[in-house]
Amino acid sequence: MNLHEYQAKDIMRSHGIATPAGDVVTMPEAAAESARKFGGPVMVKAQVHVGGRGKAGGVKFCKTPDEAREKAAAILGMTIKGLTVKKVLIAPAADIASEAYVGIIVDRERKKPVFMVSAAGGIDIEEVAATTPEKIRYHAVDVRYGLMPFEALELGFFLYTDAKLARSAAKVMQQLYAAFMATGCSLAEINPLVVTPAGEVVALDGKMVIDDNEVDRRPDLEALRDADNEDPAEVDAREHNLTFIKLDGNVGCVVNGAGLAMATMDLVKYYGGEPANFLDIGGSSNPEKVVNALRIITTDKNVKAILFNIFGGITRTDDVANGIVTAIKANPLTVPLVIRLTGTNEELAMKILTENGLTASADMDEAVKAAVKVAAGGVAA
Amino acid sequence: MSIFIDNTTRLVVQGITGRDGSFHTRQMVEYGTQVVAGVTPGKGGQTFEAVSPEGKPVAVPIFNTVSEAVKATGANTSVIYVPPPYAADAIFEAASSVPLVVCITEGVPVLDMTRVYPFVKERGARLIGPNCPGLISPGRAKVGIIPGRICAEGPVGVVSRSGTLTYEIVYQLTRAGIGQTSCVGIGGDPINGTNFIDCLAAFEADPDTKAVALMGEIGGTDEQEAAEFVRDHMKKPVVGFIAGQTAPPGRRMGHAGAIISGSSGTAAEKIEAFEQCGIGVAKRPLDFVELIRARLSMN
A180, A60: one domain: no
CA torsion angle for A227, A233, A239, A245 (degrees, to 10)?
-100
Helix (H, G, I), strand (E, B) or coil at B9: coil
Residue A352 lies inside a defined structural domain of this protein: yes
Task: Reply yes or no on whether B255 is catalytic.
Answer: yes
Q: How close is the nearest chain A Cα to the Cα of B162, in Å?
A: 5
In tens, the pLDDT along A93-107 reads: 887 888 999 999 998
Q: Are residues A256 and A184 in the same domain?
A: no
Residue A261 shares a structural domain with residue A356: yes
Q: How many domains does chain A have?
A: 3
Task: Report CB contact under 8 Å: A343, B167.
Answer: yes
Non-local (6+) Cβ contacts of A123 within 8 A are none
Q: Which of B127, B231, B123 is nearest to B187 (CA)?
A: B127
Say whether A263 and B243 touch across the interface (CB within 8 A).
yes
Domains of chain B: 10-128 (3.40.50.720), 146-298 (3.40.50.261)
- Chain A partners within 8 Å of B164 (Cβ): 255-257, 259-260, 311, 313, 315
B268 to chain A, closest Cα gap in Å: 12
Q: Which residues of A touch B262 (CB under 8 A)?
A: 126
Ordered alpha helix ranges (H), B4-103: 19-31, 66-73, 84-95
Question: Is A270 annotated as catalytic?
Answer: no
Query: What is the average per-residue pLDDT within A318-322?
Result: 92
Query: Would you state the pLDDT for residue B275?
Result: 97
DSSP β-ladder status, A185-195 and A98-107: antiparallel
> Above 90 in pLDDT, residue A21?
no
Contact (Cβ atoms closer than 8 angstroms) between residue B182 and residue B137: yes
Averaged pLDDT for residues A192-219:
91
CA–CA dist A137, A16 (Å, integer): 24
Q: Which of B24, B140, B255, B295 is catalytic?
A: B255
- In this prediction the pTM is 0.90
Does A337 lie in the same domain as A294? yes
| % of chain A residues with pLDDT over 90 | 69
Contact A266 B257 (CB under 8 A): no
Contact B243 A266 (CB under 8 A): yes
Q: How many angstroms separate the CA atoms of A224 and A97, rounded?
A: 33
Q: Which residues of chain B have pLDDT under 70?
A: 250-264, 299
Q: Does B109 touch chain A (CB under 8 A)?
A: yes
Model pLDDT for residues A333-378, shown as the tens digit of each residue: 999 999 999 988 899 999 999 999 999 998 999 999 999 999 998 7
- Ranking A121-130, A231-240, A324-333, A337-346 by mean pLDDT, the lowest is A121-130
Q: Does residue A3 fall inside a structural domain? A: no
Residue A50 lies in a domain: yes
- Whether the per-residue pLDDT at A150 is higher than 90: the answer is yes
A258 to B220: CB separation less than 8 angstroms, yes or no: no
CA of A344: how far to CAs of A44, B178, B212, in Å?
57, 21, 26
A321 and A239 in a single domain? The answer is yes
CATH number for position A66: 3.30.1490.20
Give the domain CATH number at A274.
3.40.50.261
Whether residues A74 and A103 share a domain: the answer is no
Using CB atoms within 10 A of its CB, is residue A41 exposed (0-12), middle (13-18) or buried (19+)? middle
Q: In chain B, whose CA is at the least distance from the CA of A140?
A: B114
Q: Which residue has the higher pLDDT, A331 or B256?
A: A331
pLDDT digits (tens, 9 = 90+) for A32-88: 999 999 998 999 999 988 777 888 889 999 999 999 999 999 999 998 877 889 999
A236 and A257: one domain? yes
A186 and A86 belong to one structural domain:
no
Q: Do A143 and A41 sit in the same domain of this protein?
A: no
Name the DSSP class of A152. H
Q: Do A260 and B164 touch (CB under 8 A)?
A: yes
- Shortest distance, CA A353 to any CA of chain B (angstroms): 22
* Beta pairing, strands A185-195 & A136-140: unpaired
Partners of residue A213 in chain B, C-beta under 8 Å: 84, 107-110, 256
Domain that holds residue A346: 231-375
Whether residue A183 has pLDDT greater than 70:
yes
The residues near B38 (Cβ < 8 Å, ≥ 6 apart) are B12, B13, B14, B16, B17, B21, B25, B48, B60, B61, B62, B63, B69
- The domain boundary residue, chosen from A92, A119, A150: A92
What is the ipTM for the molecules in this complex?
0.87
Structural domain contains residue A1:
no
Examine residue A174 and state whether it is found in any structural domain, yes or no: yes
pLDDT at residue B247, rounded to an integer: 84
Picking from A77, A92, A107, the residue at the C-terminal end of a domain is A92
End position of a domain, from candidates A74, A92, A110: A92
Residues A307 and A237 in one domain: yes
Asked if A251 and A355 sit in the same domain, the reply is yes
Cα distances (Å, whole numbers) of residue A381 to A186, A354, A373, B92, B193: 47, 17, 9, 54, 46
In a domain, A15, yes or no: no
Distance from CA of A330 to the nearest CA of B (A): 28
> Is residue A300 one of the residues assigned to a domain?
yes
* pLDDT computed for residue A116 by the predictor: 93
Q: Are residues A363 and A319 in the same domain?
A: yes
CATH number at residue A141: 3.30.470.20
Q: Does A259 touch chain B (CB under 8 A)?
A: yes
Beta strands in chain B, from DSSP E residues, in sequence order: 10-14, 34-39, 47-51, 57-63, 77-80, 100-103, 126-128, 134-137, 141-144, 153-160, 180-185, 211-217, 238-243, 280-281
Report if residue A310 sits inside a domain. yes
**pLDDT, mean over chain A:** 91
